[in-house]
Amino acid sequence: MGDGKVTRGGTQGLEAPDPILEERIKAGLGQVESALERAVRADYELLGEAASYILAAGGKRFRPMLVLLSGHFGDPTDPRLIQGAVAIELTHVATLYHDDVMDEAQFRHGVPSVNAKWDNSVAILSGDFLFAKASELSADLGAGVTRLLARTIATVCDGQIRDVALAGRLAQTEAGYMETIRRKTAALIATSCRLGGMLSEARSDHVDLLEQFGEVIGMGFQLSDDIMDVIATEDVLGKPPGQDLRQGVHTLPILYALQDRGRGDELAELLADGPPEGDRLRRALELVASDGSLSRAREAVTNEVRRARKLAEGLPSGSPKDALLHLAEYLASRCGAGF
């Protein structure tokens, strides 16, 4: 993290349509990056190195960006927004450390995962350290923020354990999967938006709308990622495609392919003996990538984007609202969905 770079700046499509607002968000993210570097310092060298490792590898800083952007519905200069954004990102990265252990993942953000570079024990303890640092920062922001973050972490854990319990099962429902990602992914994104509104002292009804918007955007974000795991290249993803299938995670495109009369039986047979590899994985990806499955999954993303646009109608007009709408449309366009 030594160069303090704002990695989001290299992600085409995430920029705010208003260049003045974009510069303000980038400046805020620069402060977040510096604060992240300070927050993960540790007395023991290995802990400090492991805790900062994935942060240094980069990432979109999507959740801190939402904290700062939502802060523009109140007082965007409130210094608490930086601290809140840092707490959110530390929480997010902590969940990645633990996810990678459970998934036995080998890569994260294009570099070896912490568990691959060191081992599971280092990854788990480093994740715990990041959770603790996030809690320490939130405590300085008041009991309301601490309670919100703690409740969100509990919800994310609930979603993660649902994901673990359902791994590899062919008999999953669309509703069950949607509830899992609502908890595992969308909850922290919703909290990012709510926190930005809270800390900037936006109107209470706007804070509630921001939280609802964040949850819907979080759903769209995950559903879009599910599609990208099927259609994108390793250069785009920073890891080989088909990771969901490899890990036994049956995302919406996979569930839709299993429901298809023409391809479902063959796909179910490929998945019946556990997560596929080699030729089985390649064939499974071909089946999931068919037009029918992906078009239905894209429709689900479009539905979330339309819900987001409807919620945004209740927010005050201006460049922050325009930026939120632009973000919703980006999530759709990146995976080929409409809006």
Query: Does residue 3 sit within a domain?
Result: no
Query: Does residue 2 sit within a domain?
Result: no
Taking the CA atoms of 328, 238, 188 and 176 in sequence, report the sign of the dihedral they define. positive
The range of the structural domain enclosing residue 78 comes to 18-315
Query: Does residue 324 sit within a domain?
Result: no
Query: Does residue 323 sit within a domain?
Result: no
For the chain, what is the total number of helices (H) and then of strands (E)? 17, 2
Could you say which residues of the chain have pLDDT below 50?
1-10
Euclidean distance between CA atoms 66 and 189, whole angstroms: 8
| Per-residue confidence (pLDDT) for residue 13, from 0 to 100 | 67
Query: Does residue 81 sit within a domain?
Result: yes
Strand partners, 107: 112
Say how many domains are in the chain: 1
Domain of 296, CATH number, reads 1.10.600.10
Strand partners, 111: 108
Closest CA to 292 of 262, 334, 335, 265: 262
Residue 125 C-beta-side C-alpha neighbours within 13 Å:
12
The 8 Å CB, 24+ separation contacts for 261-268 are 263/287, 263/290, 268/170
Q: What is the pTM of this model?
A: 0.92
Main-chain phi, psi angles of 108, to 5 degrees: -150, 125
Rounded (10°) angle between helices 19-39 and 62-70: 120
Query: Does residue 116 sit within a domain?
Result: yes
Query: Does residue 334 sit within a domain?
Result: no
| Per-residue confidence (pLDDT) for residue 6, from 0 to 100 | 37
Query: Does residue 339 sit within a domain?
Result: no
